[in-house]
Every structure is written in C-alpha cells, then in structure tokens.
Amino acid sequence: MKLITLFLISTFTGLSLFFYQQKPLKQSLIDGKEIYTDFCMQCHMTNGEGVPGAFPPLANSDYLEDVDKTIHALKFGLKGPITVNGKPYDSVMVSQGLDDEEIADVMNYILRNWGNSTDEIITEERISTIQK
Ligand code: HEC
C-alpha cells in the first residue's frame, strides 16, 4: 500500500511538473493575439499587412523564416536596412518591453496567421536563450 501511494504521488508530481513547464499552444495563441493587438497592430496593421514604405509586413513575411533573428528583433529592437519580401526598409523598431513569455506568445501567433505557418512551438525557454 505504501509503495502504491508513493508511486501515485511521484507520478502526479512528475505529470504536473511536465504540464506546468509549458503553456499549452492554445492559450499561447489567445494571449499572443491580445499582445499583438496591444503592442504591434498600430504599426503592422490588423492583418499584418504593414504600411508600404514605412512598416514592413508580417503577413507572408520571409523575414520570419529566421526565427532566432525575429526573436532578437522583438527582444532588443531592430534598426537599419532590412529586406522583407524583396522590399527595402530602413527604419527603427524599438523593443516593446515584452517579457520572454509574451514574446513567445506573440511569436506563436504571428507564425500561424496571415499566410505564415509552422509546426514549431516557440517556448519561453527558447526566447531566454537569445542573447544580444
Ligand atoms: C512603432 C511601430 C512598430 C511597432 C509598435 C512594432 N513594430 Fe515591428 N517593425 C517596425 C519597423 C519600422 C520595422 C522595420 C525596422 C527596420 O527597418 O530595421 C519593424 C520590423 C519588424 C519585424 C521584421 C520585419 C518583418 O516585417 O517581418 C518583425 C517580425 C516585427 N517588426 C514584429 C513586430 C511585433 C511582433 C510587434 C509587437 C510586439 C511589433 N513589431 C511592433 C515598427 C513597429
């Protein structure tokens, strides 16, 4: 009996640790949408289409193919010449002051909308490994 109890306790602890570590994708996408609306939409527009010549698009953006580079831009800001879908931009995006969890959520959201798709789930841990 004691052994069974011990077994049950350790299984339960293990499982809850497993589930606590990572936010489910569904919740991340809900939170990511809210973050997008509050922090990104004013420049990148409702459907990520951007503003020609001023704010590059997130919709179908080839820039997003480099996930680490995109995380870096969101964490530390982005400045200077870039090319998005063949069009040049040379402007500044300051860091929006999001924490690692918020960056992971908004990344999961933009990587799954407006023509972008991925199987990858971006985690808070991954964001924390990207250094300046
Ligand atoms: C005040 C306007 C502004 C806000 C707010 C803003 N951005 Fe940007 N963003 C820019 C500009 C301008 C650039 C291009 C910077 C350059 O030319 O180097 C850019 C570039 C990018 C890029 C790389 C190029 C591309 O289009 O794929 C990504 C990804 C991006 N922003 C995502 C976001 C996300 C996600 C948010 C919200 C967390 C956000 N931005 C908030 C203005 C903004």
Q: How far is the CA of 43 from the centre of ligand 1 (A)?
A: 7
Q: 26 vs 23, 37, 46, 101, 117, CA distance in Å?
A: 8, 17, 20, 14, 15
pLDDT in tens, 54-95: 999 999 999 999 999 999 999 999 999 999 999 999 999 999
Q: How far is the CA of 37 from the centre of ligand 1 (A)?
A: 13
Residues with CB under 6 A from ligand 1: 39-40, 42-44, 55-58, 61, 63-64, 70, 73-74, 78-80, 82, 84, 89-93, 96, 106, 110
Q: Are 39 and 106 in contact (CB under 8 A)?
A: yes
Residue 115 reports pLDDT greater than 60:
yes
Q: How far is the CA of 56 from the centre of ligand 1 (A)?
A: 7
State both tokens at 25: 């994708």
pLDDT in tens, 33-43: 999 999 999 99
Q: Which atom of ligand 1 is nearest to the CA of 79?
A: 18
Closest by CA to 29, choosing from 126, 95, 131, 118, is 118
Please report, as a single letter, which amino acid is at residue 104: A
Q: How far is the CA of 55 from the centre of ligand 1 (A)?
A: 7
State both tokens at 58: 């997130």
Say what percent of the chain tops pLDDT 90: 83
